[in-house]
């Protein structure tokens, strides 16, 4: 990997993604054992709540022979109790890596700039790279390939959409996203993804029409309408996104073997019709499991150097 950190999917090239997926699969199958991070410690610096990310990083460190320390925002107060730069410079004297879940992308970037140790983005307002990489692993397992597949994202052009769009573009996939006016993916992300897709043989399509996005797709993906930090907009978002609910009817527009994905936590009755999480097409819990395997590969790469 180019740098010491994983802040954005754009920090990776095609070779990095391939290696991480192969290593995650080997770890999952028990083909790569051992304890490459014996004696290493990871700080989990979280400004927002988490189930999957927190538990899977903690377990990943344990399984790799290392140790994790969870630090809540109430304890650390990034930028409030003390400057972000000082937190980065202090914590680097004790631990070997930082996994940070922050409100602002600028905060995780600032941590990475001032820390001498690797910093991993565990979700910010702009990206969720560990989720996107785990999702590629899940799609690869379910479909046996990535190149040439079509993924349709229905909903908010949010952090999860940004990272997934970049990841699909790197993998030579066709990424389509249906979002209402005012909730599109960021222009910068779209430009970056288009450049990556041009190089990989993939493509990027942004539309307002969920059916146009989903038609014939191999993967249908959705995420919450209101992300952490946007709670004040929840009522307006529910109104705007109602036509973007993934229903059985919308899913039936996808390819016959299409899988349904969601990073979780899900809000049944909002972005997913009630019960759809239990449909035979849903792979959401395998998807959640793969966060562990991909993060073990990421940690072994970044902290095991």
Query: 185-222 as b/e, with b when 16 or more CB fall inside 10 Å?
Result: beeebbebbbebbeebebbbebeeebeebbeebbbbbb
* Cα 297 versus chain centre, distance: 15
Comparing CB distances to ligand CP, the nearer of 14 and 51 is 51
Site pattern 144..163 for ligand NVA (x: CB under 6 A): --------------xxx---
| Residues 137/294, Cβ–Cβ less than 8 Å | yes
- Residues 172/145, Cβ–Cβ less than 8 Å: no
Residue pair 52/46 in contact by the 8 Å Cβ criterion: no
- Cβ 224 to ligand NVA shortest distance, Å: 5
Residue 263 lies near ligand NVA (rule: CB under 6 A): yes
Query: How far is residue 256 from each of residues 137, 214, 215, 248, 262, measured CA to CA in Å?
Result: 21, 12, 10, 13, 19
Query: Quick one: what does residue 51 bind among ligand CP, ligand NVA, none, with the CB cut-off 5 to 8 Å set by partner type?
Result: ligand CP
Q: How far is the CB of 16 from ligand CP (least distance, A)?
A: 21
Give the one entry of ligand CP, ligand NVA, none that residue 159 binds, where binding means its C-beta sits below a cut-off of 5 to 8 angstroms depending on kind.
ligand NVA
Q: Which is nearer to ligand NVA, 26 or 228 (CB)?
A: 228
Q: Which of ligand CP, ligand NVA, none does residue 158 bind (CB under 5 to 8 Å by kind)?
A: ligand NVA
Say how far apart CA 118 and CA 249 lie, in whole Å.
Answer: 44
Per CB under 6 A, 163 contacts ligand CP = no
Residues 240-269 vs ligand CP: string with x where CB under 6 A?
A: -----------------------xxx----
- Note whether 293 and 28 are within 8 A (CB): yes
Please report, as residue ranges, which positions from 209 to 238 form the binding site for ligand NVA (by CB under 6 A): 223-224, 227-228
Interface residues with ligand CP (CB under 6 A) are 50-53, 123, 131, 263-265
């Amino acid at each position: 990997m180019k740098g010491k950190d994983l802040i954005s999917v754009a920090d990776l090239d095609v070779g990095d993604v391939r290696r991480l997926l192969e290593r995650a699969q080997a770890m999952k199958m028990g083909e790569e054992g051992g304890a490459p991070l014996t004696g290493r410690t990871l700080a989990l610096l979280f400004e927002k709540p988490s189930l999957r990310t927190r538990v899977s990083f903690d377990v990943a460190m344990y399984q790799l022979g290392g140790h994790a320390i969870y630090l809540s925002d109430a304890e650390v107060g990034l930028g409030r109790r003390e400057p972000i730069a000082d937190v980065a410079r202090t914590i680097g004297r004790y631990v070997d890596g930082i996994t940070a879940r922050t409100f602002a992308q600028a905060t995780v970037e600032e941590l990475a700039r001032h820390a001498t140790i690797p910093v991993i983005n565990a979700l910010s307002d702009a990206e969720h790279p560990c989720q996107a990489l785990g999702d590629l692993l899940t799609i690869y397992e379910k479909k046996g390939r990535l190149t040439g597949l079509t993924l349709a994202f229905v909903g908010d052009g949010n952090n999860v959409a940004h990272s997934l769009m970049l990841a699909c573009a790197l993998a030579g996939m066709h990424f389509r996203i249906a979002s209402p006016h005012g909730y599109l993916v960021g222009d910068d992300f779209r430009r970056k993804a288009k450049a990556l897709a041009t190089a990989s043989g993939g493509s990027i399509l942004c539309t307002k029409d969920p059916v146009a996005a989903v038609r014939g797709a191999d993967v249908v993906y959705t995420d919450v309408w209101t992300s952490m930090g946007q709670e004040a907009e929840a009522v307006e978002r529910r109104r705007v996104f109602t036509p973007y609910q993934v229903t059985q009817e919308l899913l039936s527009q996808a390819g016959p073997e299409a899988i349904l994905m969601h990073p979780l936590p899900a809000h049944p009755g909002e972005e997913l019709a009630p019960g759809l999480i239990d449909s035979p097409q849903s792979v959401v819990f395998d998807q959640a499991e793969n966060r562990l395997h991909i993060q073990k590969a990421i940690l072994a790469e970044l902290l095991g150097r």
